Amino acid sequence: MPDRTAVTAVTDGTAEGLLTALYMYYYGNLRPEMVVDGSLPSFQQTLGAEYVFVKTDQISAEKVFNAIESKFSGQTRRCIGLSLLSAAEDKLFDIFRYILLAFKDPKHVDDREQFDFVIRIHKLTRNVGMEAHLLTGFARFKQTSQGVLYAEISPKNNVLSLVMDHFTDRLGNERFVIHDTARGLAGVYDTREYIIAEMPKNLRASFDEDSDEQSWQELWTTFYNTIGIQERKNSKLRRQLSPKYFWKNMTEHQRREHWQ
Amino acid sequence: MDILEKLRILTDAAKYDVACTSSGVNRKGVKGKLGSANACGICHTFAADGRCISLLKILMTNYCIYDCQYCVNRRSNDVPRAAFTPEEIARLTINFYRRNYIEGLFLSATVIKSPDYTMELLYQTLKYVRKVHHFNGYIHVKAIPGASQELIAATGLLADRMSVNIEMPSAESLALFAPEKTKESILLPMKQIKNGITRSKAEVVRYKHAPSFVPAGQATQLVVGASSDNDRKIVELAEGLYNTYSLKRVFYSAYVPVPTKNKMLPTSRAPLLREHRLYQADFLLRFYGFNSGEIFENSDGSLNMNMDPKCSWAMNNLDKFPVEINKADKMTLLRVPGIGTISADRIAAAQRQGPISFETLKKMGVVLKRAQYFITCGGRMYRQTKLNEDFLTMTLSENKIDERYDQLSLADDFGLSLLPAPAPNFEDELKCLTGQL
């Protein structure tokens, strides 16, 4: 076996970048021992390692994407899609290996938990799916006098698109904006379709609160404080089920008057 | 009285009802209507007692003609009374829903004037919310025992879930504490609802647009520890309800003392650990293929407080262990203490892919804390331990953490986050993680 140094593939961090790397695996003899996201601030090259910079190519990416679409099961595609949204910085190589395995064995890839990276992908998928699911409950809209519902979220993973999918179905007749303050992105829905675009941090300032908004918030907070059974207080359980990092965007936790 | 005060009174009056799940039905958004429903259920916040809040849980009114001793709303109790109008309920529901505070409405009522009158009131309100305000979200409504069949049938077409609360686990305790109610008067509407669901399901198969009747199924609630009924009686009752009335859920609520002059009611609250054990037994019935006879094998009729019911069963059946992980089928795996439905599914899937070692089990996330004593992988046990009853009783006993359990037990009520899910699909997994099952 000839000597060769470990090759690290460096992508631009986008899904297309990863798909291009996969294309190069099949058609360009790229055999990486690691796949990293070169756009991360934490990325730095070390001596003695060999780096291949993957130049994202839309056409190659699309070819791989179409193959994934036609060959993989819904569950596998969902795992790939959700783990790509994960905030874990070292996710790319696991997704890379997962997709390679899926091309080899598209039917059983998700049963093959003997491979660490399959377990990892399932974990990432659960983590991202769970956060998006929690936000479908924890996001809070405010009525603005412009007639638009406005919500702020600050999730750990990039789940805005998943959250938008949920609310466009649920509030299909309403115009609304969901602002991911952690990433400076906002999803905007106009009763027909939504777009996700970069927005300034002070997006909130462009809206005025509706005159009734405060009284609805008060009613809700009253309900929240009354519904708990005082004799059965359990703060630890509450914290486990609704982690505190969600609270800053939840009306009932911001208007604090409740018994602790 | 302003709406804020009404909301305070009628929420306070509804808070002891434990069922607040919004699961069981999938409904897409519809043009011109507000809302959708999600089969896995969505928790919108958690109250300070750790319970999930997903529905606007309120009473229509708390004026009551009955005098059930265990109930805060009984006519002889001196509490502030109020009543909502259908318009007020609709406005609260719609405005809370648009701001994503809630998943829908949970409407209950005490019995005002007569059962029929009350049921009519609930029906009118639901109709108003659904037809005038075009609300398409989740609605859970109480069926009032003694109300006419036509009213219950009409209401069921507007609701996603209906429930009749049994509260007292036996006819004797009902006679003792709720003299105006009888076992028959409670079971009759349950039967009606069950028949309605069966009929509606058959119709939906034949006609695509047949209206669906209570698509998310029916539920009930039992108060634990107010009467002298033991655990066996309660679990047997639940089993009967699941089998005969196809209930989706039976909820258990440890009795919290209400101010009363009745000497027969306990003055202290029932231990939450008992409620916790009942929920565990309930899960064994629904997802683990157990029956009540097995749960109470060699038992005096109360659940073992020191260990969970599955552990207790295993102690009584040590001859069935150890189980070989590489060979056992799913139903056998489910009977191993410490292995839940998610783990059982994962093991069953991995069996088809190759040999499983303890290392693999750990990576899969199977918790070996209790399971290790009852399983072998490739013929080997995890450690050199014997299946000795005394040793296992000592090792698996939880009594050292009794106090903590008082805090934790509510987890079972709604935060089943730590317990396994019934089926392998993603929605069920979520349902379980968020406790909406």
Which chain A positions have a beta carbon within 8 Å of B29's beta carbon? 168-172
Structure confidence at residue B29 (pLDDT): 87
Measured in angstroms, the CA of A213 and the nearest CA of chain B are apart by: 10
Is the confidence at residue B386, as pLDDT, over 80? no
Average pLDDT over residues B244-266: 84
Which chain A positions have a beta carbon within 8 Å of B57's beta carbon? 227
- Confidence band, pLDDT 50/70/90 cuts, at residue B177: confident
Q: Are A189 and A141 in contact (CB under 8 A)?
A: no
Nearest to B369 by CA among B347, B337, B400, B393: B337
Structure confidence at residue B399 (pLDDT): 61
For residue A225, what is the nearest residue in chain B, using CA coordinates? B47
Q: How many CB atoms lie within 10 A of CB B431?
A: 25
Which chain A positions have a beta carbon within 8 Å of B45's beta carbon? 137-138, 224, 242, 250, 252
Measured in angstroms, the CA of A139 and the nearest CA of chain B are apart by: 7
ipTM above 0.85, yes or no: yes
The torsion region of residue B266 among left (phi > 0), alpha (psi -120 to 50) and beta comes to beta
Q: Which of A136, A218, A237 minimises the CB distance to B411?
A: A237
SS3 A210: coil
Helix (H) or strand (E) segment spanning residue B89: helix B86-98
Is the confidence at residue B56, as pLDDT, over 60? yes
Structure confidence at residue B47 (pLDDT): 92
Contact A169 B426 (CB under 8 A): no
Q: Are A39 and A13 in contact (CB under 8 A)?
A: yes
Average pLDDT over residues B92-116: 93
Average pLDDT over residues A37-49: 84
Is the confidence at residue B284, as pLDDT, over 60? yes
Q: Are A9 and A95 in contact (CB under 8 A)?
A: no
Does A216 contact chain B (CB < 8 Å)?
yes
Helix (H) or strand (E) segment spanning residue A151: strand A149-153
Does A49 contact chain B (CB < 8 Å)?
no
Does A220 contact chain B (CB < 8 Å)?
yes
Structure confidence at residue A5 (pLDDT): 66
Which chain A positions have a beta carbon within 8 Å of B404's beta carbon? none
* In chain A, residues 74-113 whose CB comes closer than 8 Å to chain B: 75, 78, 108, 111-113
- Confidence band, pLDDT 50/70/90 cuts, at residue B206: confident
Contact A229 B40 (CB under 8 A): no
Structure confidence at residue B433 (pLDDT): 45
DSSP sequence for B236-283: HHHHHHHHHH--SEEEEEE----S---TTS-SSPPPHHHHHHHHHHHH
Which chain A positions have a beta carbon within 8 Å of B58's beta carbon? 223
- Confidence band, pLDDT 50/70/90 cuts, at residue B46: very high
Q: Which of A108, A137, A236 minimises the CB distance to B353?
A: A108
Q: How many CB atoms lie within 10 A of CB B31?
A: 7
pTM across the whole model: 0.86
CA B313, B319, B323, B328 torsion-angle sign: negative
Is the confidence at residue A55, as pLDDT, over 90? yes
SS3 B338: coil
Q: Which of A174, A226, A259 minimises the CB distance to B15?
A: A226
Measured in angstroms, the CA of A233 and the nearest CA of chain B are apart by: 4
Contact B38 A136 (CB under 8 A): yes
Nearest to B24 by CA among B285, B212, B191: B212
Which chain A positions have a beta carbon within 8 Å of B103's beta carbon? 137
Contact B45 A252 (CB under 8 A): yes
β-strand partners of B61: B83
Which chain B positions have a beta carbon within 8 Å of A171's beta carbon? 29, 34-35, 98
Q: What is the mean pLDDT of chain B?
A: 84
Nearest-angstrom CA–CA distance, A152 and A186: 9
Ramachandran angles phi, psi of B286, nearest 5°: -85, -35
C-alpha B289, offset from chain centre: 18
- Confidence band, pLDDT 50/70/90 cuts, at residue A258: very low
Q: Which of A169, A218, A227 minimises the CB distance to B47?
A: A227
Kindly state the DSSP code that residue A28 receives in the 8-state scheme. Answer: S
DSSP sequence for B389-402: HHHHHHHH--GGGH
Does A257 contact chain B (CB < 8 Å)?
no
pLDDT tens digit string along A147-194?
Answer: 999 999 999 999 999 999 999 999 999 999 999 999 999 999 999 999
> Which of A100-109, B15-24, B425-434 reaches the highest mean pLDDT?
A100-109
Measured in angstroms, the CA of A87 and the nearest CA of chain B are apart by: 20
Q: Are A121 and A99 in contact (CB under 8 A)?
A: no
- Confidence band, pLDDT 50/70/90 cuts, at residue A4: low
pLDDT tens digit string along B388-432?
Answer: 777 777 777 776 544 444 444 443 444 333 333 333 344 444 444
Average pLDDT over residues B50-64: 92
Measured in angstroms, the CA of A12 and the nearest CA of chain B are apart by: 31
